[in-house]
Amino acid sequence: MAMLATLGFDVDVINFVVSAFMVGAVVLHLLLAMGVMFDAVSLERRRPLWFLGALSWAAVVLFTGLVGTLVYWLMHHSTLAGDKRPATERKPREIPLPNRSEA
């Protein structure tokens, strides 16, 4: 820190900026984890979650932040997630058959 002071930087300002950044990162991780937790609990009532339960997903997001949130979203809400309804609730796809009466 003494080297920064000799270069003309105010050490107190640098400490404040670094501390504010760290507090902001912690708050962001907590908010993301809470959001994923609430979403996972409501989603779990409708269908099973992939790989982990709601609390585990929240812990993953708490430690990984935006990356964990992105992975959770891709696995549960994006078009990559596919149709997660049980097979008994899905409508079978209709395959068009050729019209044989014209031949």
**Using the 8-state DSSP alphabet, how is residue 87 labeled?**
T
Rounded Cα gap, residues 26 and 11, in angstroms: 22
Q: Do the domain assignments include residue 46?
A: yes
Q: Using the 8-state DSSP alphabet, how is residue 34 labeled? A: H
Is there a domain that residue 15 lies in? yes
Task: Specify if 50 maps to a domain.
Answer: yes
Note whether residue 102 is domain-resident.
Answer: no
In a domain? residue 71: yes
pLDDT at residue 33, as a whole number:
95
At 64 the pLDDT is 94
- The structure's pTM equals 0.67
Count of structural domains within the chain:
1
Rounded CA separation 81/27 (Å):
28
Per-residue pLDDT tens for 16-64?
889 999 999 999 999 999 999 998 888 888 777 778 888 899 999 999 9
pLDDT tens string 76-86: 877 766 665 55
- Look at residue 93 and tell me if it is in a domain: no
Place of tokens 């640098």: 14
Q: For residue 68, give its domain range.
A: 2-81
Residue 2 has pLDDT above 90, yes or no: no
Retrieve residue 90's tokens. 């899905």
